[in-house]
Structure 1
Amino acid sequence: MSVWIVAFTLRGANLAAYLGRTLPGARAFSMAKYAAQAGTEPVERLADWCRRAWEEAEGLVFVGAAGIAVRSIAPRLQSKTTDPAVVVVDEGGQFAISLVSGHMGGANELTRQVAACLGATPVVTTATDVNGKFAVDVFAVKNGLAITSMRRAKEISAAILAGKPVGLHTVLPLEGEVPPELTLGRVQEENVEIGFHARYPGSLLLIPRGIYLGLGCRRGTGMQELVAAVEAALAAHRIPRCAVAGAASIDLKADEPGLLAWAREEQLPLTFYTAEALRQAEGDFSPSEFVKTVTGVDNVCERAAVLAAGGGRLRIRKQAAHGVTVAAAEKEMRIVL
């Protein structure tokens, strides 16, 4: 997790600097007049720092009064599914408080990490944590599962807190002990299903994000052509869009404007492989002499998908439409309880 830490006094700046050295992926900032002495990055205007941190960091740590943090982040709050983690630490290092995005954003876990670094008391107020119960949103984030309905997730948590059993149903193998709040394979009034499609009405569906697309396209192909081709391929194989975790192609396409624009719009990581790397992919692929003549490898999209999925199995063989070729592979996943 990338973490930005900010402080407002010299004592706080020294604490921020320590956290910056101790927490993995952390950067320490303080108001400019303390930066040189504390060894932190200078901040001229807190509002500007907050805007940049909100866009670039996964977690924000404010060293100082909770009120400063609340007022700073208030204009930027949007959703618990997208907001970064926000933690507050007093400048004496006595308490670390999870303020925003405790579960899905990881603020509760970041709070515990900060507290461990400082020997501080972690303050976590989310109901499932306070009561020591299974938290379905934390479970989903930890296992790379997309939550299809936050309303249903809240209802599942409410049922658990009320002591009602919740059924757990999965198409993926499980690792670990099933929590006592869940009944594996038994249909209850409230159910959680892991897979691409729900079998029981009213279930909370958690979709594994293990699909990786392999893409090829003609020079100059626009973003809309890519959107149409990908949507058609996924729909034809009944794969939800939120199951897609990334995409890949050959390095000859690394400067293709339409492809790059598509990845930005979809907010997906895009990996490029050399022809040599693609040739190393293992599997039964659809060969094309023309593609081999142009790129140096007999198939781009299927091989790229398999490599991106860590050697996973092909779910969609090469489909061509709108000047675009699409394939998809599924990464092997296990659910950790």
Structure 2
Amino acid sequence: MICALVAFTPGGAALGKRLADALGGTLHVPARLAQSTGMPSYDSLEAWTASHWGTGRALVFIGAAGIAVRAIAPHVQDKFRDPAVVSVDETGQYAVALLSGHVGGANSLAARIAGLTGGTAVISTATDLHGRFAVDVWASRQGLLLKDRQVAKEVSAALLAGASVRFSSEFPVEGALPFGLTEQAGILPEIQVTCHNRPQPRVLRLVPRCLVLGIGCRRGTTEEAIAQAVQAAAGEAEIDTAAVLEVATIDQKADEEGLCRYCQRHNWPLRTYSAQVLGSLPGTFTASSFVYSVMGVDNVCERAALAGGGTLLVPKRAQNGVTVAIARRNPVLKFEESEE
């Protein structure tokens, strides 16, 4: 976890320097302390906080908790978008997880800081206090996208109340089910790990990034045409495109403007393979003599989708000069002993 740290006193700066070195973060201090500490300075705490909010960094305030609370107050949204915020007193006696304890990782960061200072981590999230399974923490650790925040709250409330919550998964999950989870059918709410877009009442969908879009297209195909073809293929199979890990195609399409723009819009990497690599893949594919005459391989989309491994989930679909296939790789999911 990348951290941005800020301190307000000489003692706080000394502790902040130790923590920054240990955590791999950057410490800032007021201008009046910059020369004596050799640390970079900030002009105003409000501006410092605003500049680091939403960057993916955890924020560590070394000083009175009230200072941290006032600094972050204008920016707080919800636990799924807020960064981890930890307040540490300048003696290192207490590390308080103020914001985004689960999803952002403030609880674990507070514990780590307390371990470094010999202090105490102050954790107030209910599932931690009562030793219950925290679905948002587990989802974050496994790289799963949590699709329904309201149902997530219902799941946590049920577990805190001592009720059972059903767990099901389209993918293998290592380890024993944590206390409170059951595979028994007919129990709601339910946690479901899936790459499909099949919303159901009181079912919390956790979506892994495990799908590869194999795409072939004519030269000059627009971004809009590619988007429409992908949506049609995914929609037909009820695939959730939030599960897309990357897009794959033949190397002759590496500079295809519409395809590149489509990938950039969704922040999906574009992986390319040579005709030789694609043609050497074993298996049965939807062959086209025309594609072979142009590209040197009989099929682009299916072969590209499978070039990195996995199984074919959606075979070749063609629309307006675009071909789409979708392959699935199995993510490595597991329950740790500490979650039981």
Question: So what's the TM-score if we normalise by structure 1?
Answer: 0.84
Which residue number in structure 1 is paired with residue 148 of structure 2? 149
Please state how far the C-alpha of 1:158 moved relative to its aligned partner.
Answer: 0.8
Q: Classify the secondary structure of the residue corresponding to 1:99.
A: strand
Instruction: Choose the corresponding residue for 1:336, options 328, 334, 337.
Output: 334
Instruction: State the distance in 2 between where 1:120 and 1:80 align.
Output: 25
Structure 1 residues 306 and 113, CA, compared in 2 at 3 Å: closer, same or farther? farther
Residue equivalent to 2:338: none
In structure 2, the partner of 1:319 is 317
> Is the CA contact (8 Å cut-off) linking 2:278 and 2:304 kept in structure 1?
no
Contact 1:287 1:299 in 2 (8 A): yes
Q: Is the 8 A contact 2:254 2:272 kept in 1?
A: no
* Alignment of structure 1 residues 68-79 onto 2, 5 Å: 68-79=67-78
1:163 aligned counterpart, secondary structure: coil
- Residue 97 of structure 1 aligns with which residue? 96
Map of 1:14 onto structure 2: 14
What is the alpha-carbon distance in structure 2 between the residues aligned to residue 322 and residue 2 of structure 1? Answer: 44
Q: Could you say if the C-alpha distance between residues 194 and 31 of structure 1 is closer, same or farther in structure 2, counting changes exceeding 3 Å?
A: same
Q: Deviations over 1:133-172 (max 9, x none)?
A: 1111112222233222111111111111111122222222
Letter of the structure 1 residue corresponding to residue 240 of structure 2: P
Gaps of 5+ in 1: none
CA distance in 1, matches of 2:265, 2:61: 31
Aligned 1:77-156 pairs, distance under 5 A: 77-156=76-155
Q: Which residue of 2 aligns with 1:238?
A: 238
Is there any run of 5+ residues in structure 2 with no aligned partner, and where?
336-340
Q: Secondary structure at the match of 1:56?
A: coil
CA distance in 1: counterparts of 2:67 and 2:252, whole angstroms: 49
Deviation at 1:53, TM superposition (A): 1.6
Secondary structure of residue in 2 paired with 1:230: helix
Q: Are 2:279 and 2:298, in contact at CA under 8 Å, matched by a contact in 1? A: no
> Could you tell me whether the CA contact under 8 Å between 2:54 and 2:82 is conserved in 1?
no
Q: How far apart are 1:286 and its partner, in Å?
A: 5.0
Aligned counterpart, 1:205 = 205
Shift of 1:3: 2.1
Structure whose CA Rg is larger: 2
* Closer, same or farther: CA 88–246 of 1 in aligned 2, 3 Å: farther
SS of structure 1 residue aligned to 2:48: helix
Contact 1:251 1:273 in 2 (8 A): yes
CA RMSD, Structure 1 to Structure 2 (Å): 3.1
Identify if the C-alpha distance between structure 1 residues 129 and 265 changes in structure 2 by more than 3 Å, giving closer, same or farther.
same
Distance 1:259 1:118, change over 3 A: farther
Identity of aligned residues (%): 42
Amino acid at match of 1:14: A
Deviations 1:239-284 (A, max 9, x none): 1122223334456655555444433432x33143453895598453
How many residue pairs end up in the alignment?
333
Aligned partners of 1:42 and 1:251: how far apart in 2?
47
For 1:74 and 1:324, the matched residues in 2 are separated by: 48
Q: Distance in 2 between matches of 1:121 and 1:281?
A: 58
Whether the 8 Å contact between 1:169 and 1:185 is mirrored in structure 2 is no
